[in-house]
Structure 1
Amino acid sequence: MRGRRRSNASLLPDQVHWVDADTGEIVNKQLKRAVFLEHFANREPCLIGMEACGGAQHWARRLIEMGHQVKLMPAKFVKAFVIGNKNDPADARAIWMATQMPSKAVAVKTESQQAVLALHRLRQQKIKMRTMQMNSLRGLLSEYGEVMAKSRGALDKAIPGVLARLAERLPAMLIESLRDLWNDLDRLDKQIAEIERRLQTWMKEDKACKAIAAIPGVGLLTATATVASMGDAKAFKSGREFAAWLGLVPKQTGTGGKVQLLGISRRGDTYVRTLLIHGARSVLFHAKHAGTWAEQMQKRRPANVVTVALANKMARTIWAILAHDRPYKQDHVSTRPT
């Protein structure tokens, strides 16, 4: 390693691969989970590469507390360096190799930030369960000739009459089961609303969330998810790098000096990117004045292209506010430093 004398280690929960800084010896051995932290507590501060998988955030925080530098690598990036058969020693070696490459690491999050992301994951799970139950209810009713529109409002409006008609010719045990399935939708609605209330409470207490919530198109979900996902805003060199990390920039392909730009790369955090695009779409369709820049682009570009472009601009604005600790100003004009 350059600079201070360090060793470089990469690890799985039970496998460690490193190169000794003094002798150049390559070591790849197993470690029991019980002595994992003890092993690194007795070593000088070093760079530790880990695959961003379940539990990696916890181990990264503990290792940072010991004075080590931790680099979390995306699993997709590590996979490219697996040579031969896939096993623990090969995976640990692949992580070590991936750590040497210049790439954007996954941010190590605080426990508070990870708690917010956990609430977002729970909310998404509840929404998925609610959609699944609605489709299941419609599918069961369609077997008896009862068909209704797909919206939730249409379902709630039609279901009492549907169950009353079916009760005349179907067993009571089925009717009660269908009614329970319908009532479960209200229970899931309340659980989703409660999660959103908790996120709202955290947003009111967090300075960064309140600052970016002033941006048009950035609401409760976008503000809390973005702040929790990006970690330290200063880890990104610019707003352009942050937008690229979210996959809001074009893919490139080319050779011989000729570069062709394709659609957006869709790399990075899918959830945050989706929220930003939905927010941009709401600004374009519902705001009275989307801004001169957006209005001019709408005249010459397709709607989806304008939406993604505005989402890219929102991501850059979010980075600028958080990295420079400034409030949002609608009429702000950025200038290059002289």
Structure 2
Amino acid sequence: MKPMPVGVDIAKSVIQVHYVDKETGEVVNKAIKRAKFLEFFANRTACLVGMEASGGAHHWARRLISMGHQVKLMPGEFVKAFNIRNKNDVADAHAIWRAVQQPSKAVAVKSEMQQAMLALHRMRSQLMKFKLMQTNALRGLLAEYGEVMGAGAASLARAIPEALSRLSERLPAVLIESLREQFNQIDALNQRIDALERRIRELSKNDLAVKAISEISGIGFLTATAAVASMGDAKAFRSAREFAAWAGLAPRQVGSGGKINLHGISKRGDQYLRTLLVNGAHSVLLHAKKPSAWVTQLKERKPINVVAVALANKMARLIWAVLAHEQPYDRDHMRAKPA
């Protein structure tokens, strides 16, 4: 017997539930307090619970699965198509109930360890943004007084003491002190970022999946840990291309009447993971002593940024292949041609 579908709209304090009772045919729309949510499902036969893959969804999914229910997490864009009229909790739960019954690809439920790794990466990403904002602001302020620094953090660190010394002869001391404080804040951010990277490395040191994909050129420990944590279960993706498309590294398609035009990458999925992959691809292009023939030929025909994205797409496919097939990375592997 098929499990009864239930649509659940998650909120901070009140969770909306929508389902049709199999025995009576009654349409139930019920708001449940957060503390009573698990109690509502405790003594029920196994249900197919649909939820948007939003904040807190993975936590509730793990708890419901442990109680014997099936859980299907769905992207918000997919659910949005089933919301016909108004936008409120009742309508959202109804839309989720409709969506969970449709054949579609579910979002893999992440473990607590995977979410812990992603939490460290999110904090690092936030600090990187703060650092970039503070650095650009400091460079702009110094440029107003004729002090232009070279590109890169190292150039800024070397030039800032002499620049402030020169400016102190003609500018107010309060401004010089404020500029020095901002530079010290950038240094403090660098120390916090380094500490987070050490914690990420420590947390992943025994992860076999991270070690396996770290063998791929351009995949460092940051990209490896982010990829393993972001994708959840590699087998949730049907193919390597599907994972690359999920990461936003496949071209957008616009077509009609049987004619399809390919545009730039779709930029779907996780922007942070995609950025790491593209940066890793640029590193390979800049520092590889013996680039592959495929990369060399592509560089002759395409701009460097296009080549980097194409290489990042290939790296994403390799990550999926290694994790989905549970085999070590072989640089010289040749795919067997079908008979």
Fold match by TM threshold 0.5: yes
Pair 1:27-2:28 in alignment: yes
Distance 2:298 2:151 in 1: 34
Aligned residue for 1:205, secondary structure, equals coil
* Structure 2 equivalent of residue 79 of structure 1: 80
Structure 2 SS opposite 1:298: helix
Partner of residue 49, structure 1: 50
- What is the CA distance between 1:147 and its match in structure 2? 4.1
Report the equivalent of 1:122: 123
Aligned partner letter, 1:9: V
Q: SS of the counterpart of 1:295?
A: helix
**Post-superposition offset of 1:142:** 4.3
Q: In the TM superposition, what is the alpha-carbon distance from 1:30 to its structure 2 partner?
A: 0.6
Please say if residues 120 and 196 of structure 2, whose CA atoms lie closer than 8 Å, have aligned partners that are also in contact. yes
Deviations 1:113-155 (A, max 9, x none): 1111111111111111111222232344445554444532332
Residue of structure 2 in register with 1:295 after alignment: 296
Q: How does 1:1-338 map to 2 (within 5 A)?
A: 4-13=1-10, 14-335=15-336
Shift of 1:66: 0.9
Unaligned runs of 5+ in 1: none
- The farther-off stretch of 73-82 and 55-64 is 73-82
Change (3 A) 1:29 1:337: farther
Question: Residues 47 and 174 (structure 1 numbering): CA distance in 2 closer, same or farther, change over 3 Å?
Answer: same
> What whole-Å deviation, never above 9, does each CA across 1:41-87 have from its counterpart, x for those lacking one?
12111111111221112111111111112122222332232222211
The alpha carbon displacement at 1:317 in A equals: 1.4
Distance in structure 1 (CA, Å) of the matches to 2:289 and 2:180? 43
Amino acid at match of 1:85: N
Instruction: Give the counterpart letter for 2:284 in structure 1.
Output: V
Structure 1 258/170 Cα, relative in aligned 2: closer, same or farther at 3 Å? closer
The total of aligned residue pairs comes to: 335
Q: Which amino acid aligns with 1:265?
A: S
Shift of 1:287: 0.6
Q: In the alignment, is the contact (CA less than 8 A) between 2:125 and 2:272 conserved in 1?
A: no
Q: For the Cα contact (< 8 Å) 1:8–1:20, is it kept in 2? A: no
Matched to 2:92, the amino acid is D
Identity %: 62
Letter in 2 for 1:316: R
Distance change >3 Å, CA 140–CA 293, structure 1 → 2:
closer
TM-score, normalization: structure 2? 0.91
**Amino acid of the structure 1 residue aligned with 2:332:** D
Counterpart of 2:162 in structure 1: which amino acid? G
Check the 8 A contact 1:107/1:229 in 2, yes or no: no
**Cα 1:83/1:324, change in 2 over 3 Å:** same
Tell me the CA shift for residue 225 of structure 1: 0.3
Output the amino acid matched with 2:315. M
Cα deviations by residue, 1:187-206 (Å, 9 ceiling, x for unpaired)? 11111111111112233210
**Cα 1:18–1:336, aligned 2, differ >3 Å: closer, same or farther?**
farther
SS class of match (1:8): strand
Residues 82 and 181 of structure 1: is their aligned pair in 2 closer, same or farther, counting only changes over 3 Å? same
Q: Is the 8 A contact 1:5 1:21 kept in 2?
A: no
User: Is the Cα–Cα contact under 8 Å of residues 17 and 96 in structure 1 kept in the other structure?
Assistant: yes
Q: Aligned partner of 2:286: which letter?
A: F
The offset of 1:171, in angstroms, is: 4.1
CA separation in 2, counterparts of 1:59 and 1:112? 15
Cα distance in 1 for residues equivalent to 2:196 and 2:30: 43
Post-superposition CA distance 1:208-260 (Å, at most 9, x none): 00000001111111100000011111111221221222122222222232322
What amino acid sits opposite 1:274 in the alignment?
T
Q: TM-score, normalised by structure 1?
A: 0.91
Q: Distance in 2 between matches of 1:142 and 1:248?
A: 37
**Could you say what secondary structure the match of 1:299 adopts?**
helix
